[in-house]
């Protein structure tokens, strides 16, 4: 069950989002300002943060910047009633996953959260596959210390980053 952190200074917005996202099966965390949000992010490590842009104290853009420093994997979806291209561009530049405007279309919010979680799952799968491929194709898994094998290791090392095909030949029965 994914954890979603809702950050807004309006308790009505928090309540509405909480009800809708809990019905989708998510575990909901809430904060009413940027400082509370950062504490929750460090302690709870939510998969997604829905973050209001305009809040007293630390605004949403600064909270986004600090969230990126605290957690590279948390997806942040910005929310605001004050839609302006500068704000959208700044949020995306700082690493926001998506941007929704108020009044909130709750179906759009559900879709954005679902897509953010799916993107995280795909990114994690890619990291795992890349890691397993690196381990699978390490030269350390090749057995042999004969001088001819050592020479072959050097040849492999020289062409390993090349996309060209390589043909290795040898006498029949030598492996």
The CATH number of the domain holding residue 63 is 3.40.50.2300
Kindly tell me if the per-residue pLDDT of 115 is higher than 60. Answer: yes
Separation of alpha carbons 160 and 7, rounded Å: 48
Give the CA distances from residue 131 to residues 32, 71, 115, 127, 137, in Å, rounded to whole numbers and listed in that order: 39, 21, 24, 6, 10
Range of the domain at 102: 3-132
Q: Do the strands 98-101 and 75-80 form a parallel or antiparallel pair, or are they unpaired?
A: parallel
Q: Is residue 171 in a domain?
A: no
Q: State pTM to two decimals.
A: 0.74
- Which pLDDT belongs to residue 14? 96
Number of domains in the chain: 1
Residue 64 has pLDDT above 80, yes or no: yes
Q: Confirm whether 13 is domain-assigned.
A: yes
Please tell me the least confidently modeled range out of 10-14, 139-143, 157-161: 139-143
In a domain, 170, yes or no: no
Res. 85: pLDDT tops 60: yes
Q: Examine the pLDDT at 137 and tell me if it is beyond 60.
A: no
Asked whether residue 136 carries a pLDDT value surpassing 60, the answer given is no
On the question of pLDDT at 152 being above 80, the answer is no
Query: pLDDT at position 140, please?
Result: 61
Asked whether residue 132 carries a pLDDT value surpassing 80, the answer given is no
75 occurs within a structural domain:
yes
% of the chain at pLDDT higher than 90 = 50
User: Taking residues 84-100, what's their average pLDDT?
Assistant: 83
Distance CA 66, CA 70 (A): 6
């Amino acid at each position: 069950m994914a954890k979603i952190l809702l950050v807004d200074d309006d308790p009505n917005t928090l309540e509405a989002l909480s009800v809708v996202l809990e019905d989708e099966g998510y575990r909901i965390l809430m904060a009413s300002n940027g400082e509370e949000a950062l504490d929750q992010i460090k302690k709870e490590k939510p998969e997604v943060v829905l973050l209001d842009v305009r809040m007293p104290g630390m605004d949403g853009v600064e909270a986004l910047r600090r969230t990126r420093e605290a957690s590279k994997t948390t997806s942040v979806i910005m929310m605001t009633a004050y839609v302006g291209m500068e704000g959208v561009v700044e949020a995306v530049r700082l690493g926001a996953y998506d941007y929704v405007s108020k009044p909130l279309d709750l179906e759009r919010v559900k879709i954005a959260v679902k897509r953010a979680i799916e993107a995280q799952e795909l990114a994690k799968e890619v990291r795992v596959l890349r890691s397993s491929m690196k381990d699978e194709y390490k030269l350390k898994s090749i057995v042999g210390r004969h001088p001819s094998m050592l020479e072959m290791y050097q040849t492999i090392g020289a062409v390993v980053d090349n996309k060209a095909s390589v043909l290795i030949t040898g006498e029949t029965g030598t492996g």
